[in-house]
Amino acid sequence: MSQKEIERLFSGLDTSVQLLQKELGVSYLEGLSETGENIIDGKKATQENKYPSDQTVKMLTELYQELPLDNMEPEEIRKSFQLALLKGAKSDQVQANHQMTPDAIGFILSYLIEKVIDIDIKKIRLLDPAVGTGNLLSTIYNGLTLKEIEVEAEGIDNDDLLLSLALINTELQGQRVKLTHQDALTDLLIDPVDIVVSDLPVGFYPIDKNAKRFKASAPEGHSYAHHLFIEQSIYYLKNNGYGVFLVPTQLFETKESAALTKIIQSEAYLQGMLHLPKELFKSEKSRKSILLIQKKGDKAKQVKQVLLAQIPDFKNQTSMHHFMQEVENWKQENIKNEK
């Protein structure tokens, strides 16, 4: 992987965004969305009501022509775009639920998915119902593609700016991803998928009338959005399919979790709960874990031993190797990879 090309593409994106910010008075992420659309639409800047100026349009178009996209692998492009997203999140002071999932977590999720899917599978359908900027979904897409698995993916989000960035992110990488601007807790026009993977939004879902459609909803007051997302995801999984979610570590420790536990027990199997390193989070309250569930079906059954693990500090290679061996041993003892 060429770090030089990654930095060169980021530098080009960053410069173009700053030019647009200066002329249009937009936020960094809005400028990134604008410049990304320009690149996708033929690598030329667009002008509306004489903005940006003719000089800036010329500068941007020349800048776009020099971008090294044609010589870069999808994962290199993703990393460049991620650098721009990170700068934008910091510059625009993006709220917690809109923050990007760190790469290290994306790689762990991708690793787990590779371990649980059938070894002979050649094609897989993914869904992220809270896709955000698309970084997590495209990380997993690239990971599975490297394993020579054909990927077809869908992403949903109700934030049009984040979805625009996800579109640019995936388009620049040449990924087959269908994106829909929608509240993912309404009825979805989506065929069942093999895997639902998502960094779930944490907090209360504001539309009580809609929440009442779900068995995991609270008996009174607002319901937790992440509870509803898990239930919704189960409904759009194929039989035997897996849900792999980033969730609050205390997911099953709150009084509101009883209904969620009941729906999971009714429709799926809880196959794993892996706690992420505490060093990644500002406080114990904000700490997250990876929830692994499998929808019931003819090939699915409750594993003999639920995968309960503490993921070590990602920088500790020895501990990470031990953890991965632990997952491999669990897979050999509990997951039957059959067609």
**pLDDT single digits (tens) 206-245:** 999 999 999 999 998 899 999 999 999 999 999 999 999 9
- Across the range 92-102, mean pLDDT stands at 70
CATH class given for the domain over 3-74: mainly alpha
Q: Which residues contact 289 (CB under 8 A, 6 or more apart)?
A: 246, 247, 248, 249, 251, 273, 274, 275, 276
- pLDDT exceeds cutoff 80 at 204: yes
**pLDDT single digits (tens) 247-259:** 999 999 988 899 9
The pLDDT of residue 99 is: 67
The pLDDT confidence band at residue 339, using thresholds 50, 70 and 90, is very low
pTM of the model: 0.93
Give the residue from 279, 307, 291, 309 showing the smallest Cα distance to 252.
291
The pLDDT of residue 281 is: 80
The CATH architecture of the domain made up of 96-334 is 3-Layer(aba) Sandwich (3.40)
- Across the range 103-112, mean pLDDT stands at 90
- pLDDT exceeds cutoff 80 at 97: no
**Residue intervals in the chain for CATH 3.40.50.150:** 96-334
- pLDDT exceeds cutoff 90 at 101: no
The pLDDT confidence band at residue 96, using thresholds 50, 70 and 90, is low
**Residue intervals in the chain for CATH 1.10.150.470:** 3-74
Whole-number Cα distances in Å, 313 to 19, 277, 280, 286, 330: 39, 6, 9, 17, 20
The pLDDT of residue 255 is: 86
